Structure 1
Amino acid sequence: MAGQFDGRGVIVTGAGSGIGRAAALAFAAQGARVLAADLDAKGADGVVREIEGAGGVAAAVVGDLGEQSVVDEVVRTAVERFGGVDVLVNNAGIMDRMSAVADVTDAEWERVLRVNLTAPFLLTRAVLPHMLAAGRGTIVNTASEAGLRGSAAGAAYTASKHGLVGLTKSLAVMYRRQGIRANAIAPGGTATGIVVDADRTAHGPAALGPHFVNLGRVARPEEQAAAIMFLASDAASDINGVILPVDDGWSAV
């Protein structure tokens, strides 16, 4: 299991499925010790078993990453098991109902922002002391095509991903002199288990419909994971504050 991440401690959120699972397996295949965090116990435990079955080192923490106590457990476990955190991949996320602003409920807004933006903030804040003490660290966030435009999702999801883009850039500027890099990928359509529970007759989905004609092909989770791996690697040592579209050219249209 030796490779470019040999011996490094990596936290991957949303590791139970989709892009997170692909990233966790890819890091482990390159020698990383992986902490798989997910709300789904079966998915997180399954990834750990797969990594350990291949001779790697992994651990799972199950819980809602919007809760400070779960975030504390994730970071504490990674530090205790791996000796530190070299890479944080904030990948966990949920979709909204494609709702237009006038139709967004308080519950939809608060849940989407909590998972997609507050949880990455909480995790980043929790790992920073360890990275600062080590004098190095890499953070890779999973943003979205919706973080680059206003026509790829509903109001809550769009706001959350624009916020994640801003958080990424702020981190890059504020901590570059301390040896910490922060970048993000902006996936287009990707074959994951995320389900959009939308009323197609509502104003939001109806208004967004025409804008999806330039979606491009649907990517495999492994393609997104490859971009995450690159941004986290030493090969990207001078790349900081970048939002990398992985979308078959959708962002270029």
Structure 2
Amino acid sequence: MRKEPVSSTAGEQLRRSSPRVLLTGGGHGFGKACAEQVASSGASVFITGRDGQALAETVDVIRGSGGTADFMVADLADSSAVAEAVDKATRLFGGIDVLVNNGATTGPIGPLWSVDDQAWWHTMEVNLRGAWSFTSKVVSGMVDQGSGRVINVVSRAGQYRWPYASAYSVSKAALISLTANLAGELRGTGVTAIAFDPGILDAGMTKAHFQRGHTDNPWENRIHDWFRAAQDTGGFTEVDAAVRALEAVTSGAADHLSGKYVTTESLGAGLIPAAR
């Protein structure tokens, strides 16, 4: 994780601070907050997502604060766009030290047998194959340099269950398993893999449920009411705490737990000493 000047897409020379981070889903919610926080600590950040305007706004905020950032619009289900994004980030920064697979979609809501099959499998394409695509294109460079971190943002829905959101739940369960298998294959290379669960946040998909309110879909309403009850009983995690926890993991706070499922709460409780 060297420190050296690199050229931005505009051609100017920028001094890159370690680490070099590629983060998917960086235009909104938790991903946007994480990109800004990690950049504020000195990292060079490259973000992807589908909303070009939101990505540009995130990058403008980072650059306006003196940080180094760039972006590319890339659909996680588009393997050619993923390859182009990895190539652009690698050329810009000279390599990638940390990959944060954060981008995801909720998928169809309703009983498994009632939802559209194409929508169900599209959720797998985005949440699982998207993470696989970025990882498979990034990790060889990490192995070559002898260091790196792959952080897969997961959910308790993958650790336990989430009825009526089976596509999302199963995709996150598969991502937790992918993390464990990847860590086993990376043992001894200097590269680690962590499944990071930020907790239930009043951001992103959850916030969208609140903003939408009740609909004519009774299954969406059940999930909305479950979220509201969880919030009322203290089941939510503060966004700032989750962002700080993710930043700690990018810095190596969970390297000794490669392959494991790590939560914001475990970091906050001091079970995982922060790397400094």
**Mapped contact 2:27–2:55 kept (Cα < 8 A):** yes
Q: Which residue of 2 aligns with 1:132?
A: 143
Q: Which residue of 2 aligns with 1:39?
A: 50
Q: Which residue of 1 aligns with 2:252?
A: 234
Match 1:27 to one of 35, 38, 41? 38
Q: Which residue of 2 aligns with 1:61?
A: 72
Residue identity matched to 1:151: W
What percent of counterpart residues are identical? 30
What is the deviation of 1:30?
1.1
**Mapped contact 1:141–1:168 kept (Cα < 8 A):** yes
**Mapped contact 2:153–2:198 kept (Cα < 8 A):** yes
The 2-side partners of 1:185 and 1:153 are apart by 23
What is the deviation of 1:152?
5.9
The 1-side partners of 2:66 and 2:29 are apart by 22
Structure 2 residue runs of 5 or longer lacking an equivalent are: 4-15, 267-276
Partner SS state of residue 6, structure 1: coil
Q: Which residue of 1 aligns with 2:7?
A: none
In structure 2, the CA distance between the partners of 1:23 and 1:210, relative to structure 1 (3 Å rule), is: closer
Q: Which residue of 2 aligns with 1:157?
A: 168
**Mapped contact 1:146–1:161 kept (Cα < 8 A):** yes
Question: Quick check: 1:147 aligned with 2:158?
Answer: yes
Partner SS state of residue 36, structure 1: strand
Residue identity matched to 1:179: G
Q: Tell me the C-alpha RMSD between the 2 structures.
A: 2.6
Structure 1 residue runs of 5 or longer lacking an equivalent are: 249-253
TM-score (norm 2): 0.80
**Mapped contact 1:40–1:62 kept (Cα < 8 A):** yes
How many equivalent residue pairs? 244
**Mapped contact 2:201–2:239 kept (Cα < 8 A):** yes
Residue identity matched to 1:221: V
Match 1:245 to one of 263, 266, 270? 263
Q: Deviations over 1:88-141 (max 9, x none)?
A: 000001112332211121122122111111100000000011111111110111
What is the deviation of 1:213?
4.7
What is the deviation of 1:208?
10
The 2-side partners of 1:181 and 1:6 are apart by 20
TM-score (norm 1): 0.87
Higher alpha-carbon deviation: 118-127 or 174-183:
174-183
